[in-house]
Each structure stands twice: as structure tokens, then as C-alpha cells.
Amino acid sequence: MANSKQETTRNAKRSCSELELSDLESSAQHFERWFIIPDAHSDMPLSKLSPFVIEKAIKCSVGTVSTVKRMRSGDLLIEAASAAQGKCISILTSLANTAITVSAHRTLNTSKGVIKCRELIDCDKAEILEELRTQVVSDINNIMVKGNDGVRRNTNTFIVTFRLPTLPKHIKIGYLRVPVAVYIPNLLRCFKCQRFAHGQKVCRREVVCAKCGQTGHSDRDCRNEAKCPNCSGSHSAFSRDCPKWIQEKQVQIIKAEKGVSFPEARRLASSGYTTSSTSQTHSMAAVIKQINKAFPSLDCLFALSTHRQDSLG
Ligand SMILES: [Zn+2]
Ligand SMILES: [Zn+2]
Ligand SMILES: [Zn+2]
């Protein structure tokens, strides 16, 4: 009995050191990668310099970087090739004798994942954030569901935001090592113009019928034949069979999985890049569907969720 206890302790010690090692290894791959250098309105703005001068100045200051792009605003977007180079870029104060300020890109350096952890359900959010600060977690939100009685309940599913461009595979929650799945946000379709990737609040286009695709009326009383405004197929704009919807969803999955911008994800999708078949991906709709299926037994959900491959949701 005593021997088996000793054995258990030894095994626990071994797996602990292995765990720390693998966590260290994986954290080395995650670093702030994208930086913005605003086109300062000084006597010598960066946009007035030739691309040759800018390329040489960057190379002299920090070495060869992965990407340099000029954004529509005129600002420079730089992708660091390594963690050390990222640090060098972040402290740059001048480029080609022009004073600059560098900041980390607001969204490209963050990633969102889904975790299942019933042990977190009763923890305070401030406590969780404080404890996970060293793993660069900037936000965590519980998915809540409404039961048949109308009461909202917490679930064991959390959406975690990391200040990292690439999602870590695991997160340490105290003594637990919890797998992190890619979180894919729902694909937005504008209820006004029916196009994708924006909401009706910001839409300046004409009203388009979701059923027949014609302008000037909504689909509520429409008796016309179905014609999709996005692909002209014989289905409504909200059909999940719409090839345009499937294409946009694919772009969104690539964006989440690869941690790249929308234009880059579109480029990858059109060049035939396919999403990882082994990584778990979770859209909000799929997460909710999964919870509803398992509700009200949270234990059942916990067991169900960790090994399931989601549909495109
Ligand atoms: Zn719109
Ligand atoms: Zn119509
Ligand atoms: Zn369509």
C-alpha cells in the first residue's frame, strides 16, 4: 500500500516536470508578432520615404522581418520573425532618421480559444484573470444558457482571450492542464444588405430582401421565388448551403486557426489552403448547440466536449 503510494507520488513528480518543460517549449513559440508604426505627421513622414530606404532601415535596425506592409492609413505593419526580434521592434524610436513610435497591433496579437473546465464555474472572474495573468490571458467569459424555466445558468465552457497571435494548445488552471480549442466567431451576415462580415448598424447600403435578393423590401411578406443576393442561387440569403456562405466561413476558420488578418485568410483560402482537420474548432453556435444537447448535466457536457470534432457551425 505504502509502496504504491510512493509510486504514485513519483509519477506525479515526473509528469509535473514534463508538463513544465512542454509548457516552456510551447510558450517559446508564442510572442507578440505584429507591430504598427504610425505614419507620423512630422517634417519627414515615413510615407514620403522610398520603399528601398524603408526596407534597408528596417534591416539595419532589427534584421530581416517576416512581413512589412503599408496599410491603407499609411501606417506600416511589421511582422517579427522571432520573439527576440519582436522585442527589438517594440523599443525602436527611430527609423531612417525619422522619429517613430511603435505599438503592438491591437487585434492581430490576440487569439481566442474555448476551454471546458467545470472547476472554474464557481471562481470569481477577477481571481481567474489574476491567476492566469502569467499565461497572458486578457479576458475570460463563461457561456451561459437559459433553461426551460427561463433561469440563466453558468456552464463549464469558457471563451479565453490570450495576448498572443497563436493559440497555446493547453492552459494551466492551477493543478489542471486544460486543452484549448480554436474559437471561431459566428459569421456575421448583415440583416440589411445581406452581405457578410458586417452588421446592419454600420451598413450604408440599400435594404435587400433575404429571400428574393431584390432591393426595396424585406423578406417578411415576400412571395417571390428564392434567389440568393450573394450568389444568385435558388435559395435565400440565410441558407447554409450557399456556396458564398461556405467560402466566407472557411475564410473565418483560416483566420482563427492561423491567427492572420482577413485579407491574408482570403488569400490563403483562394490559394487552396485547407483548415486543419485534427485541431478542434468551436464556433459560438456549435458551442451553444453542444451545451443545449448536454444540458442540464454539466458533467455530461464535460465528458462529451473534449474529444469532439465540431462541424463548421
Ligand atoms: Zn450591410
Ligand atoms: Zn423579396
Ligand atoms: Zn447563396
User: Do 131 and 151 belong to one domain?
Assistant: yes
* Phi, psi dihedral angles at 114 (to 5 degrees): -115, 130
Q: Which ligand is closest to the CA of 190, given by its number?
A: 1
- Residue where a domain stops, chosen among 56, 86, 104: 104
C-alpha cell at 217: 423590401
Q: What distance in angstroms lies between residue 76's CA and the mean position of ligand 1's atoms?
A: 29
Distance in Å, CA 213 to ligand 2 centroid: 6
Task: Write down the pLDDT at residue 261.
Answer: 77
Residues 63 and 166 in one domain: no
Which-ligand-closest: CA of 195? 1
- Centre of ligand 2 to C-alpha 295, Å, is 38
As to burial, measured by CB atoms within 10 angstroms (0-12 exposed, 13-18 middle, 19+ buried), residue 38 is middle
Residue with cell 458533467: 299
Q: Ligand 3 centroid vs 240 CA: distance in angstroms?
A: 8
C-alpha cell belonging to residue 22 = 512542454
Grid-cell match 511589421, residue found: 78
Nearest ligand for residue 216 CA: 2
Determine the distance separating the centroid of ligand 1 and the alpha carbon of 197, expressed in angstroms: 9
Among all bound ligands, the one having the nearest atom to the CA of 205 is 1
Are 121 and 249 in the same domain? yes
Question: Do 137 and 268 reside in the same domain of the chain?
Answer: yes
Q: Could you say which residues of the chain have pLDDT below 70? A: 1-30, 41-42, 275-313
**Does 223 map to a domain?**
no
Q: Are residues 170 and 146 in the same domain?
A: yes
- Expressed as residue numbers, the domain containing 39 is 34-104
Please answer whether residues 210 and 237 qualify as being in contact, where contact means their C-beta atoms are separated by less than 8 angstroms. yes
Task: Please name the residue ranges forming H helices in the chain.
Answer: 2-28, 51-62, 83-90, 125-131, 243-258, 262-270, 284-294, 298-305
CATH code of residue 62 = 3.30.70.330
Residue 10 counted as domain residue: no
| Domain count within the chain | 2
Q: DSSP letter string over 182-245? A: EEEPPPPB-TTT--BSS-GGG--SPPB-TTT--BSS-STT--SPP--TTT--SS-TT-TT-HHH
**Is 41 in the same domain as 180?**
no
Query: How far is Cα 127 from Cα 133, in angstroms, rounded to an integer?
Result: 10
What DSSP element (H or E) covers 34?
A: strand 34-37
CA of 3 to the centre of ligand 1 (A): 68
Separation of alpha carbons 161 and 103, rounded Å: 19
According to DSSP, the β-strands at 170-173 and 152-162 are unpaired
Kind of pairing, strands 170-173 and 176-179?
A: antiparallel
Taking a 5 Å cut-off on Cβ, the residues next to ion ligand 3 are 228, 230-231, 233, 242, 244
CB neighbour burial string for 169-198, b if at least 16 within 10 angstroms, e if fewer: ebbbbeeeebbbbbbbeebebbbbbbbbee
Residue 281's DSSP bridge partners are 182
pLDDT for 264 equals: 84
